[in-house]
Structure formats: structure tokens, C-alpha cells
Amino acid sequence: MVAICAIGLGFFSLWLFGYYFSFMGLIGTFGLVGIAINDSVVVLAAILADSEASAGNCRATRKVVMGSTRHVVATTLTTMIGFVPLLVKGGTFWPPLAIAIVGGVGGSTLIALYLVPCCYLLLANFGKSNVE
């Protein structure tokens, strides 16, 4: 699910900034999937490492996700900043790749920090009658 959302975010970034869908845009879009999945794995690993959060406790999950936010945001910012030279001095060939990756990685951070914990809580609490 995270990979599909990341691909959509890459395509949306190309459209938003007025770049045509090209081969480099496609390569950039598929390149950002790994980073998006990595962010989600960091959040899920933090949830599973905490006994209360892995049991489906909403407050514990929120606390764990807030603790892993620094790692996810640091990965996102370093990736986005690393593609700035391609955006500025990339000519006509490199900017579609950079736009797809920068836009998709920025959006996939929100997916990792909001959507992934919510989906985990829904699955962890499925069938329970009392959710905190």
C-alpha cells in the first residue's frame, strides 16, 4: 500500500510542477518507493518493539511514532536536499527525476507517520470491543 501511494505521489509531483511524464520521471518515481518503504519499516519496527504499542494501545503507539519521527524526517530531509543540485543545474534531463523523488519522498513521510500507524491500529484492534 505504501509503494502504491508513493508512486502516486511521484506522478502527482510531476504534474504539479509542470513536468511531462518521461522516462526519467518514471525512474525517479520507482526510485522513491524504496525510501517510502524504509520510512514505513522504521515506524513499524518502533511500534513492534514496544509491547504496549504492538498490543494496539493508541496512546503508546502515538508516543512511539513521535519518538521515531526524528529518524524519518532526517532521512526525508537529507534525500530532498541531496536532489536540489539536480533541480537547480540539471538542465532538461534530470529535473523530472529529481521532482518525482523529492515530491514523493516528502509525501511518503506523511504516509509513514500517519497512515501506517493508523492501519496498524485498525488491524491490531480488529475484533476488540473496547478501543482506547
> What are the pLDDT tens digits along the chain (132 aa)?
888 999 999 999 999 999 888 899 889 888 889 888 988 999 999 999 999 999 989 999 999 999 999 989 998 999 999 999 998 887 888 899 999 999 999 999 998 899 999 999 999 888 676 555
**pLDDT for the residue numbered 41:** 92
**pLDDT for the residue numbered 132:** 52
pTM (2 decimals)? 0.82
**pLDDT for the residue numbered 88:** 87
Q: How far apart, in whole angstroms, are the C-alpha atoms of residue 32 and residue 72?
A: 14
**pLDDT for the residue numbered 50:** 93
**pLDDT for the residue numbered 30:** 87
**pLDDT for the residue numbered 35:** 86
Domains of the chain: which residue ranges? 2-124
**Nine-digit cell at 126?**
480488529
**pLDDT for the residue numbered 91:** 83
Q: How far apart, in whole angstroms, are the C-alpha atoms of residue 41 and residue 49?
A: 12
Question: What is the per-residue DSSP string for 8-75?
Answer: HHHHHHHHHTT----HHHHHHHHHHHHHHHHHHHHHHHHHHHSHHHHTT-HHHHHHHHHHHHHHHHHH
In the CATH hierarchy, which top-level class contains the domain 2-124?
mainly alpha
**pLDDT for the residue numbered 46:** 94
